[in-house]
Amino acid sequence: MVPGAFVGCVLLAVILVVLYFALRRKRVASPSSRKRENSAVLAGLRQNLRLKVGWDEATIDRLIGLERERLPKASLQTLMEAAIERWERDNR
């Protein structure tokens, strides 16, 4: 009876270890899902800018352009976030 109980305990331990690592493993997002997430974030940031500047697309482009001069290697998301922060700071 002892060997059967030992095998059962070892089997249970193996199952728990496998489950532990399976749950810990981070899921890697597919490129298409990352692209959708990124475009959704950009759309949200642009909408935030639209509301701030009264739907003036030229002003939005100008604000992003000013940030691009300051941060030439930054991503569009970073530029939009910086433009929002600057607008909020300047319009307190």
> Mind listing the pLDDT tens digit for each residue in 10-24?
777 778 777 777 777
> Mind listing the pLDDT tens digit for each residue in 29-75?
566 666 676 889 999 999 999 999 999 999 999 999 999 999 999 99
What is the residue range of 26's domain? 2-90
3-state secondary structure of 24: helix
Contact 37, 29 (CB under 8 A): yes
Q: What is the pTM assigned to this prediction?
A: 0.62
Distance from C-alpha of 92 to C-alpha of 65, rounded to nearest angstrom: 22
Distance from C-alpha of 25 to C-alpha of 14, rounded to nearest angstrom: 17
- Please tell me the total count of domains within the chain: 1
For the stretch 57-64, contacts whose Cβ atoms lie closer than 8 Å and that sit 24 or more positions apart, written own/partner, are 63/87
